[in-house]
Amino acid sequence: MILLGSTGSIGVNALNIAEQFNLSVDTLVAGRNIDLLNQQILKHSPKRIVVIDEADCSRVNHPHVRSGEAAILDAIEESDSQHVVNALVGFAGFRPTLKALECGKKLALANKESLVVGGAFVDTSTIIPIDSEHFGLWYLNQTPRPLSRMVITASGGAFRDWALERLASATLEDALKHPNWSMGQKITIDSASMVNKLFELLEARWLFGEGEYDALIETKSLIHALIDYKDGSTTAHFAHADMRLPIAYALMGKVETPIVDRIDLTRVGALEFRSIETERYPIWEIKNDLLRNPQKGVIVNAANEAAIERFIAGEIRFIDISAMILRAYESFTQAPESVEAIFSLDKEVRTFVRGLSC
């Protein structure tokens, strides 16, 4: 495989699957965790390495190391491997997605922003999703029946149990205290604001086509997806939250070996479901409009990434993230009509958000 984002949680799990099933690793693309990257190189012997920062090249224990976005695209094109796992974070994953598809590779996609910003210009026929929620929808839909709605679940994030009046004083440290597991900084903040789930609904829309999509909170994160059928019945996908399961299916097509432990429902006891309310998650106000106009996802993504940068820098409050996204969504109404227009609009929206006052 060509693994983009090898030192993140999804990348680490992809390499666990490679080790378990003796899959070869052709290329590793990593960020700034060079110590972990060197451990991965020692264990998996990839042919080529790409890092984000040129200054880190000298620290990598490999004879073939390059840096930067252009090097990522070149590595995808040069590699004989037909599988690309895109686990890069944010808008940075979009060009590699386009390159992988241009080269005729099979794409295991964890970079949801690729479809959020450019789903209209991406051929999803060779994409296999490895987000737990989209894998769950795909898994449930293997025996097609007339369906009426696809539903994904959310944890509710760091502030799901906070009193609403406390949110104005929430700090970065508070936002990173996910109730169910440990993830990277950006996705944990996105979980707290519910932007992550908004993006996953948009991704589902591009992957599975037009239809009705929704989300709800399931506090134990044991159900990842549900499908409502036209006959009135509903099925749910239960599994322990473990990315190795969707990754294994994405890389091998079918899995007949146990990947995760079976859930013992007698030990789980009760499950709790909650609706996603705009009082706690203001971004949910635009859910229906965004699903009707999915090409506008680039606006939401650019505004979110720019606002998160300001939140991490201490310039704005947590609640200002959603407020700034909503301001941008109201201000930019034209959907991009080309891939080039996506990159242009992305820059415009980021500049707009960076100039907003609280």
SS3 content of the chain, % helix, strand, coil (to 5): 50, 15, 35
Give the Cα separation of 326 and 198 in Å (integer): 13
Class of domain 2-130: alpha beta
| H or E stretch at 214 | strand 213-218
Residues of the chain with CATH 3.40.50.720: 2-130
Count of CA atoms in the C-beta half-sphere (13 A) of 350: 14
Q: By the 8 A CB rule, do 85 and 108 touch?
A: yes
Q: Which residues contact 141 (CB under 8 A, 6 or more apart)?
A: 147, 208, 227
User: Considering the chain, what is the average pLDDT of its residues?
Assistant: 93
Closest alpha carbon to 257 in 248, 270, 268 = 248
* pTM (2 d.p.): 0.90
Residue with tokens 């996609």: 109
Least confident of 34-43, 130-139, 150-159: 130-139
pLDDT of 181 > 80? The answer is no
Provide the pLDDT for residue 143.
Answer: 79
pLDDT of 259: 86
Amino acid letter, 121: F
Report the pLDDT value the prediction gives residue 353, as an integer from 0 to 100. 98
**For the segment 85-128, what is each residue's pLDDT rounded down to a tens digit?**
999 988 889 999 999 999 999 999 999 899 999 999 999 988 98
Are 37 and 270 a contacting pair, CB within 8 Å?
no
Nearest to 298 by CA among 97, 123, 116: 116
